[in-house]
A = this chain, B = another copy of it.
Amino acid sequence: MTEPDAKKAAAPKAGTASKAGAAPKRRRADAERNVSALLAAAKKVFDTSGVDAPAKQITDLAGLGVGTLYRHFPLRSDLVKAVVQSNIDACAAAGPRLAAAHEPADALAAWLRAYTELLGTKRGLASALHSGDPAYEALPGYFLDTLTPTLTALLDAGVAAGTVRDDIAAPDLIHAIANLCLAVPGADPDGPYGFAHSRRMVDLLIDGLRTG
């Protein structure tokens, strides 16, 4: 959901297209397919080879030419941004699903762990965020804007059920966990300050969230 595509463009004829705001420009079906393929390939390649993997690797995996990549993502950072946003979106989407499947407090815990996992496993993506590149400046905001509603819903459900304390705000939690996962940069992921450590701290935090 990172594309400005208005699914099912409502204006089939709309002769007066050149009107205020959004352009009713339709995208060709193959182009849309290619963008998805590129995004999927990039996600896979970033996971296995890091965010600095050559573009060629991605286009090869997607079975497309480099030109196609750069048509849809003019700057390399655009691709990274799209992948990050897609990850965030997926994380946000998991909220309602978990809420439907578990007790409120459990759903909350599960979601926070998923969020932790996202931050902890996409090391390359996280580092891109920290690169200082102006291209990524908007991402933290997107992060917060997208996840806050989801987390707020989970928290509220827990509070309503009386199993989650009511004095914690979603953005604070999002920040706190992000900080915990960033703890020590180059540390061994399984070492004293690595990802395992972060996970433990988050579990602690989750326990603290429950009432009783």
In the complex, what residue of chain B is closest to A129 when comparing beta carbons? Answer: B185
* Size of interface on A: residues with Cβ below 8 Å to B: 24
- Whether B130 pairs with A185 at a CB distance below 8 angstroms is yes
A124 contacts the other chain (CB 8 A): yes
A67-107 interface code vs B (CB 8 A; 1 in, 0 out) = 00000000000000000000000000000000000000000
Within 8 A of B (CB), among A136-155: 136-140
Q: How far is the CA of A137 from the CA of B106 in the complex (A)?
A: 36
A36-48 interface code vs B (CB 8 A; 1 in, 0 out) = 0000000000000
- A50-B132, A130-B130, A179-B179 known; A187 and B140 CB under 8 Å? yes
Cβ contacts under 8 Å, A137 to chain B: 186
- A127-B132, A130-B126 known; A175 and B184 CB under 8 Å? yes
Task: Spell out A's residues near B (CB within 8 Å).
Answer: 50, 123-124, 126-127, 129-132, 136-140, 175, 178-179, 182-187, 193
